[in-house]
Amino acid sequence: MAFAPLRMETRAGKTTQAGGRSLTPFSQALILSFPGMLGGLVWNRPVSVLVREPDGSEIVIPVVDRTRQIELALLGAVAGFSLFILISRILLDRKSSGELS
């Protein structure tokens, strides 16, 4: 197999029985390693749980990282705010220099 410095692996965990149901957790790992170097970075997170009901039906429930979602929303708000300020400043500068009537 060719060496990949960046690879994503989805792995299934041990199935747990709960009542008549079976639960299989899945995780996704991002593995970063550099050729010729000892070391690297591994980011592993839970992604979903497969639930098998006693009647045989299957449901996949995603594992939502609410903290990350809120952090990203905050980052988006800051980026949007900065962009708004930058555009307003450019428009104000143009207006004050008489480019805009």
Q: Is 88 in the site for other proteins (CB under 8 A)?
A: yes
Integer angstrom CA distances of residue 75 from 28, 55, 66, 67, 89: 24, 44, 14, 12, 21
One of 2, 35, 67, 97 touching other proteins (CB under 8 A): 67
Q: What is the CA radius of gyration of the chain?
A: 24
Per-residue tokens: 64: 């939502």
Residue 74 backbone dihedrals phi, psi, to 5 degrees: -60, -45
One of 4, 11, 58, 94 touching other proteins (CB under 8 A): 11
Q: Is 77 in the site for other proteins (CB under 8 A)?
A: yes
Q: Which is nearer to other proteins, 4 or 65 (CB)?
A: 65
One of 1, 2, 18, 35 touching other proteins (CB under 8 A): 18
Q: Is 5 in the site for other proteins (CB under 8 A)?
A: no
